Amino acid sequence: MSRQRLFATALCLPAPLTVLMAGPRAAPTAQIIAIAALVLAVFVAVGPEPLNRLVAGIAGSLGLMAWGWSHPSIVIAAGANQKPGETRLQLLGRNAKIFQDIVPNILKFAPDAILLVATNPVDVMTHLTARYAADYGIGPGQVIGSGTTLDTARFRALLGRHIGVDAQHVHAYVVGEHGDSEVLTWSLVSVGGIPLMEFCREREVVVDDAVKQSIDEQVRRAAYHIIEGKGATYYGIGSALARITDVILRDQRAILTVCAPTPDVAGVQDVTVALPHLLGGSGIIETFPLPLSLSDEESALLNRSAGIIRKIIDDLEAERG
């Protein structure tokens, strides 16, 4: 069956979530999403590995239909692997071509879909996806990248562990690029509604520059350590994608640090990086612009982070002509 016929047939299946993936991370990541989101899902594999071999175990254990995709929520985590000697821009160019093929086919058969992008570099790929989707009348609020959702969860967990409080009561955000230039917004942190430093004084807990540096390093370098240990990071990102899809499918109106095209981020125009967004059943409902009460240093770091992504987009456009 051709890919296009597969798309059309799959859209007739009654599933609210679709996972479009390729590569060795596909099956375990999809399984995490399906288990955590607790929804009927459909899967399609892109690439040389046969579909039935990739997801048969998932379908069998969860009672899922291993077939095609559906709407309203479609997770895109497919892309090419880097070839020996290939530059990052060349890889980006190849993935951009893949997305130019995938996105129109999705929207041809699921015109109301909310697209959730997880392919790295996720900020750039989300920006490109939104651009391709706009040609089919899809607004930017319906194109979402996983952003720093996982980084934010790690930040809250590590800080909560240090101060002795359950992470669900720690409000803290990682913004900017999902990558080395991301920004941990210490100035916005609160614990149970109490500003962090005030909470620490009352509890006699030390959160000094050394503690902040240690947590920052653990959040920023987590993926590198995990890849060194087992070669991939599928469980963490699978959990993050499950959280995002659950918010969308159940219209939970949660504030998550996903990424989406934004007219201005800390002085950088037309860029896609992670910011706190109000997310619900229709996609992004509201974007909370930063800086709100960021420190001058954090504002400068966010400007730098957004500038890095904007330059990659510009360089890619120049490379592709």
Active site residues: 178
The C-alpha atoms of residue 285 and residue 256 are separated, in whole angstroms, by 11
Residue reference for tokens 């989300």:
126
SS3 per-residue string spanning 217-228: HHHHHHHHHHHH
The C-alpha atoms of residue 131 and residue 107 are separated, in whole angstroms, by 13
CB atoms within 10 A of CB 228: 9
Parallel, antiparallel, or unpaired for β 259-265 and 283-287? unpaired
DSSP state of 266: T
315 backbone dihedrals φ, ψ, rounded to 5°: -65, -40
The C-alpha atoms of residue 288 and residue 299 are separated, in whole angstroms, by 14
DSSP strand E in the chain: where? 17-21, 41-45, 73-77, 114-117, 143-145, 170-171, 174-175, 183-184, 190-191, 194-195, 254-256, 259-265, 268-274, 277-280, 283-287
- Find how far residue 148's CA is from the centre of its chain: 6
